[in-house]
Amino acid sequence: MSLKILVSIDIEGVAGVMHPEQTRGGCSEYERARAWMTDEANAAIRGALTGGATQVLVNDAHGSFHNLLLERIDERARVITGKPRTLGMMAGVEQGCDAVCMIGYHASAQTAGVLAHTINSFAFRRVRVNGREMGEAGLYGALAGEFGAPVALLSGDDVFLAETLPLFPGAIGVETKCAQGYAACASLTPTRACREIQQAAQTAMSRIPDLRPFTITGPLECELTAQTPGLADLFSQLPGLERMSVCALRFRADTMQSIVRVLNTLSAMSFMLR
């Protein structure tokens, strides 16, 4: 029997990561953080394969989308790397995955989580879908749901897990650190975090038959708050976006895939005003 797993890995929720410089290419601390990220990806791969997965895809899902040290990734996995790509942090799910593991994820913008943001902290103050506040895990979890894939495992800080686990009943959460501020935390060591992620990934495989994909039933409406009036001016250029107030905009969509693609387009546009 085949069991295909997508491991989508970000960096802000990785154990030991708490400073913006650890997430930015070109900073020396980033080189250590991307090695920890690579180790957590490997832990999830090993756990999934031990637990019965027959195929593992890893989606490198932070910033440039090329952070993982490929020469150190478990050779039994295949890595999706580089950008832009249509399904962003969830690319690979269209290949018929049975479940998704979200590793190193973080809490949504305007929460008390470590390095909390939603897609792009420069661009967006908050994102709502059908009135519900959504972070990256919610948005991309609902996108995975459109492809029939449930979320089986989540790792990140305590704030991330508290806001996200209720969306995915039956999923296992691994708390890699406890938030003590935007750039402060009480963290597990990388070694301990990897051990817990590996064990949880192994256990999560046996629970997949009981999981249901997370879906938001349409019609869908996305409301977003831009970080500045200038960004809202820019975002208003895209047809389909309706300006509600100085910084608030909204648009309608038929699918979560459309919402994610519009948000990623706006995020890319925002680089013009950096």
Residue (104 or 190) nearer to Zn ion, CB: 104
DSSP letters along the chain, please? ---EEEEEE-STTSTT--SGGGGSTTSHHHHHHHHHHHHHHHHHHHHHHHTT-SEEEEEE-STTS--S-GGGS-TTSEEE--S--TTGGGTTGGGT-SEEEEES--PPTTSSSTT--SS-TTTEEEEEETTEE--HHHHHHHHHHHTTPPEEEEEEEHHHHHHHGGGSTT-EEEEEEEEEETTEEEE--HHHHHHHHHHHHHHHHHHGGG-------SSEEEEEEESSHHHHHHHTTSTT-EE-SSSEEEEEESSHHHHHHHHHHHHHHHGGG-
Residue 62 CB, shortest distance to Zn ion, in Å, is 4
Is residue 157 at the binding interface for Zn ion, with CB under 5 A as the rule?
Answer: no
Residue (46 or 62) nearer to Zn ion, CB: 62
CA distance 233 to 253: 21
Residue (97 or 137) nearer to Zn ion, CB: 137
CA distance 231 to 245: 12
Residue (160 or 214) nearer to Zn ion, CB: 160
- Of residues 62, 107, 113, 137, which one binds Zn ion by CB under 5 A? 62
**Interacting span for Zn ion (CB under 5 A) from 8-16, 73-81, 173-181, 186-194:** 8-16
Print the binding letters for residues 9-48 with Zn ion: x by CB under 5 A, - otherwise.
-x-x------------------------------------
Residue (34 or 62) nearer to Zn ion, CB: 62
Print the binding letters for residues 212-231 with Zn ion: x by CB under 5 A, - otherwise.
--------------------
* C-beta nearest to Zn ion: residue: 62
**Interacting span for Zn ion (CB under 5 A) from 37-45, 61-69, 240-248, 257-265:** 61-69
Residue (48 or 107) nearer to Zn ion, CB: 107
Residue 258 CB, shortest distance to Zn ion, in Å, is 22
Beta carbons of 107 and 113 less than 8 angstroms apart? yes
Is residue 196 at the binding interface for Zn ion, with CB under 5 A as the rule?
Answer: no
Residue (27 or 248) nearer to Zn ion, CB: 27
User: By the criterion CB under 5 A, which residues form the site for Zn ion?
Assistant: 10, 12, 62
